[in-house]
Amino acid sequence: MLANTLFERLIKVGDLTIIDAKGRTRRYKATDAPKVTIRITDPHMHWKVMLAPQLAVGEAYMDGKLVIEEGTLYDFVDIGVQNLRLAYDDGVLRWLSRIRNFLARFADYNPIPRAKQRVAHHYDLDGRLFSLFLDSDQQYSCAYFAHPSDDLETAQRRKKLHLAAKLSLQPGQKVLDIGSGWGGLGLTLAEAAKVSVTGITLSEEQHKVSNQRASDKGLSDRVGFHLRDYRNETGTYDRIVSVGMLEHVGKHHYRAFFSKVKELLAEDGVAVVHSIGRFDQPGPVNAWMRKYIFPGSYIPTISEITGPIEECNLLITDIEVLRLHYAETLLAWRRNFYGNLDKVREIYDERFCRMWDFYLTACELGFRRKELMVFQIQLAKSMDALPITRDYIHEFEAANEAGRRPEQRMRIS
């Protein structure tokens, strides 16, 4: 009865029919589409959905206890995402959300040993998995779609060059890449701007692959990757870049992170931080996502980031918000994943495949339905570390797209 009341209160978009484990059918129709019918096969799911809906729904789909009989997984998740978005102003649902937010605070503690364990949970999976849905450079972050005709390969290269442009790189500079992934960004920076790059990661699999890639390209003299937590890094760098790392730092560690960036950055240095962010109010990551995909992750609002930056006395010199770019990236990943599903099944079981199907679908809709975005924040210590207009960004990208280097712009001091 309580579940029925909540669903009637919640559903303001879509046409959802639920067949429970006893064969009873209830329909909640607010609009004609999306139209979905699901069947619950386990009677224990009724209470689980009430007590922990985010966790229970994802687990039920993984375990085959939630069967979609009409419509698609995309349609089903879309109904959930859109209606939860509309429910922010509902007093009862807001109260339930506050309880969830309070309990999630205890998961943000992220000391170095735990940070390494959490990274291994996701990034040390079989490397063949990522090669089946990412681009050839294994860029596991938001691409940059400058034109509607861009495919994933083009958009990921544009992303790397966009970051390189914002770093205002000059030949011979020392660059630190915090959270260097499989090395693609660091190798691109070294090739496009003739700089030396130090990459640090907590993933043993990524560490091994990235150094092998540097060796294969003959760049080991200028590019090296290390298995190291950012808190243990030393030295001074002309440029610092971090892509997809801030989501794993933990809300209570932001000040420590930006303090470390300031400590490592040269006086005339520039840093660029690229991260997933929230459009709405602060709150925890979806409980299912935290348990099965990214343990300990936290998606900040921009307001949660600017405070710690200001406390560290760093200058915010530029902020760009990428709205639908990650939705398009995830759509491309989902298509690649489905196209290689038989190969994924050769590596992992059916439950894993359903888990990743749910993960990629839910994430795409999070970015498509005004909940999530990506921001790039450019930081400096000095007022004259960068040109006073953004023209240098376009000039670098245009020159690299044409296969040439732009002339160095004069800084105004």
Q: What is the per-residue pLDDT for 296? A: 83
Asked whether residue 235 carries a pLDDT value surpassing 80, the answer given is yes
Asked whether residue 47 carries a pLDDT value surpassing 70, the answer given is yes
Asked whether residue 106 carries a pLDDT value surpassing 80, the answer given is no
Percent of the chain with pLDDT over 70: 87
**pLDDT-based confidence at 409, cuts 50/70/90?**
very low
Q: What is the per-residue pLDDT for 6? A: 76
**pLDDT-based confidence at 10, cuts 50/70/90?**
confident
**pLDDT-based confidence at 413, cuts 50/70/90?**
very low
**pLDDT-based confidence at 408, cuts 50/70/90?**
very low
Q: What is the per-residue pLDDT for 338? A: 97
Percent of the chain with pLDDT over 90: 76
- Between 340 and 95, the more confident residue is 340
Give me the chain's average pLDDT, please.
Answer: 89
**pLDDT-based confidence at 101, cuts 50/70/90?**
low
Q: What is the per-residue pLDDT for 316? A: 98
Active centre residues (catalytic): 363
**pLDDT-based confidence at 117, cuts 50/70/90?**
low
Mean pLDDT, range 267-282, rounded to an integer: 95
Task: Give the start-to-end residue ranges of the domains of the chain.
Answer: 2-89, 112-401
Q: What is the per-residue pLDDT for 53? A: 85
Mean pLDDT, range 344-370, rounded to an integer: 96
Nearest-angstrom CA–CA distance, 75 and 23: 22
Instruction: State the pTM of this model.
Output: 0.90
**pLDDT-based confidence at 18, cuts 50/70/90?**
very high
Q: Right CATH number for 112-401 from 3.40.50.150, 1.10.3720.10, 3.30.110.60, 3.40.710.10?
A: 3.40.50.150
Asked whether residue 170 carries a pLDDT value surpassing 80, the answer given is yes
